[in-house]
């Protein structure tokens, strides 16, 4: 699905990714953890193709990528439904009203995105990411503006997409809200200063996942 080999990325004198290698298979739910500045957001942007690497290579097994980040990629003056209709047409699809119900957006469908709360804007951004039935879902701190109900809707959408695809979807999370999503993870990858410093490996046992998360929490108390 994705393979990164010796990927490096710098912003001026600051090295953000350092010869990072990582391979993610279909069916995996990878939880990226690391302190602020570890390189999680930059890594997701490079995988999504939104940021070029300075060296190394990235091989993507699909072009159907759903990306959710702090930048919601929405048009503030358009309504929720107009945004989703526009992005659907860009993907060659008709607007599917089930996107509204899936993320509990029916009540704000005719409101301009700019007038919504941050939580509802985040829901719209997540709905946009699921329009094209992505085979690779990249989530950069997706729960930061979501309450428990909205987080549950997001996790349900991921589970539903994986069921629809019969395991043909890969998910990569970067979040500090580990307790909210850890139960979904099939793999933990720990980043520090742009490098992988711990990795459970694909489809790890729950015991191994808990052990790596426990070690990470101990180091980052």
pTM confidence score: 0.91
Provide the sign of the torsion angle of the four alpha carbons 34, 39, 45, 48, taken in this order: negative
pLDDT over 90 at 150, yes or no: no
What is the structure's pLDDT at 151? 85
pLDDT over 80 at 145, yes or no: no
Mean pLDDT of the region 181-203: 94
Nearest by Cα to 170 from 27, 52, 7, 66: 27
What pLDDT, in 10s, does the model give residues 43-95? 999 999 999 999 999 999 998 999 988 788 899 999 999 999 999 999 899 99
**Domains of the chain: residue spans and CATH:** 2-64+136-219 (3.40.50.300), 76-132 (no CATH)
What pLDDT, in 10s, does the model give residues 88-138? 999 899 999 999 998 889 999 999 999 999 889 989 998 999 898 899 999
Which band of pLDDT confidence, cut at 50, 70 and 90, is reported for residue 15? very high
């Amino acid at each position: 699905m994705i393979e990164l080999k010796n990927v490096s990325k710098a912003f001026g004198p600051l090295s953000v990714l350092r010869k990072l290698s990582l391979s993610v298979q279909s069916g995996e739910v990878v939880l990226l953890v690391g302190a602020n500045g570890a390189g999680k957001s930059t890594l997701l942007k490079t995988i999504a193709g939104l940021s070029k690497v300075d060296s190394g290579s990235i091989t993507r097994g699909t072009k159907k990528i759903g990306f959710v980040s702090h930048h919601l990629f929405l048009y503030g003056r358009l309504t929720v439904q107009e945004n989703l209709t526009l992005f659907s047409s860009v993907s060659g699809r008709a607007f599917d009203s089930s996107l509204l119900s899936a993320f509990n957006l029916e009540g704000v469908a005719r409101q301009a995105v700019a007038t919504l709360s941050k939580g509802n804007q985040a829901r719209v951004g997540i709905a946009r990411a699921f329009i094209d039935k992505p085979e690779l879902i990249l989530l950069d701190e997706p729960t930061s503006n979501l309450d428990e109900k909205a987080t549950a809707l997001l996790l349900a959408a991921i589970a539903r997409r994986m069921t629809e695809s019969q395991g043909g979807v890969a998910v990569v999370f970067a979040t500090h809200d580990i307790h909210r999503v850890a139960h979904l993870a099939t793999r933990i990858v720990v980043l520090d200063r742009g490098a992988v410093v711990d990795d459970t490996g694909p489809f790890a046992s729950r015991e191994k996942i808990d052990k790596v998360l426990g070690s990470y929490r101990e180091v980052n108390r």
